[in-house]
Amino acid sequence: MRKALSLVAAATMAMLALNAPAASAATSVTFQPQSVLGPGVPKDGSKTDQNVVALGSVTLDVTATQTAHVSAVMRVNNATIRTLFDNEIVCKWVGGSKNTVLGQNVYQKGSGKPEWEDVTLTASQLVHPGVAARVTCTAFIRTASLGWEDSTVSLVGGSMRITPAGTGKPIQSVVPAGLLKVDGSNPIVRQPSLPMFDVAAGANNLDVVADVEYLVCHTISACDKSNSSKASFTLFVNQWKADGMLCRTDSKSVTLDVPYYVHHVVVPLNNNDVPIQKADGCVPRFNAYVMVKWLGGETGAVQGTANNLTDGRGSTGRHDSDMSAVYAVPAV
């Protein structure tokens, strides 16, 4: 009798499994530690050979009015040769895509500059298809040796997640393709920048995220490769009054002195929980920007969108990815 009951129970469970709805797609993923190849500089003078490795994907179903927030963090070290390291997020849906990439060079282990040997990069963006869609975002690590020989780097770990980020058009701005030079004759650039925007009623705080990709030595200027470029980076978030007068300002700042051989560096500037002032004539109207100020050394530049990145190693497919960008997310 007990055996008969067991068979019935097993059959029932099998039928339930067949009729159960499919599990929902993952909204977060953890990257497995691994060694990643960095192809050597092609000796025939052709373009740099980049390795492009997919680390994991996340998925979110959004309505026509919803925006998604996706963020990926990666940490690498133990480079055998100085190596390019990029953290890229590629998001796709039927009929559209949106991508972002940030990167810098990782020094060889034992270089004597430990701050440039162990690098953690976070890439993030807001995605708004404008139609009901399933958004799938994949994280890629992009690597290339900066010597003639192949290199390897250790991906220590990382993760990616995607979450809903409210409704309506996202508050986001990217620096278009190109380089915005800063030097002694033009020491200040205010980019990336969010023009004036209004926040919907009910929000109490504002999270503002800015990333600057800063290039050491502008490509059209002379460069002392033994030198560095020093600059300060300040994220300003301004709230305004109904009469057009300034209500209040929040700011976060960092100063970096970047060696030439790092070449380009990611400068993250996040200002979370900026309070929305509701008294003294203040209204939920804001603007935000990063002030990049050259302080000395070699010429620098803010890098815009990266064009014509390879879809994969050896692929003929190409795509563009945002680099320097800023966005804001209202919070209740």
Structural domains in the chain, CATH included, are: 22-169 (2.60.120.660), 170-332 (2.60.120)
Of 211, 162, 165, 151, nearest to 56 by C-alpha is 162
Bridge partners (DSSP) of residue 11 are none
Contact 260, 227 (CB under 8 A): yes
Tens of pLDDT along the chain (332 residues) come to 333 333 333 433 333 333 333 334 699 999 999 999 999 998 887 777 899 999 999 999 999 999 999 999 999 999 999 999 999 999 999 999 999 999 999 999 999 999 999 999 999 999 999 999 999 999 999 999 999 999 999 999 999 999 999 898 899 999 999 999 999 999 999 999 999 999 988 899 999 999 999 999 988 878 999 999 999 999 999 999 999 999 999 999 999 999 999 999 999 999 998 999 999 999 999 999 999 999 999 999 999 999 989 988 888 888 999 999 999 999 87
- Residues 6 or more apart from 112 whose CB is under 8 A from it? none
Give the start-end residues of each E strand in 28-175: 28-31, 34-38, 51-62, 66-77, 83-93, 96-106, 119-127, 133-145, 151-167, 171-174
Q: What are phi and psi of 214, to 5 degrees?
A: -105, 125
Q: What pTM does this model have?
A: 0.90
Residue-level pLDDT at 9: 37
The two structure tokens encoding residue 160:
């990616």
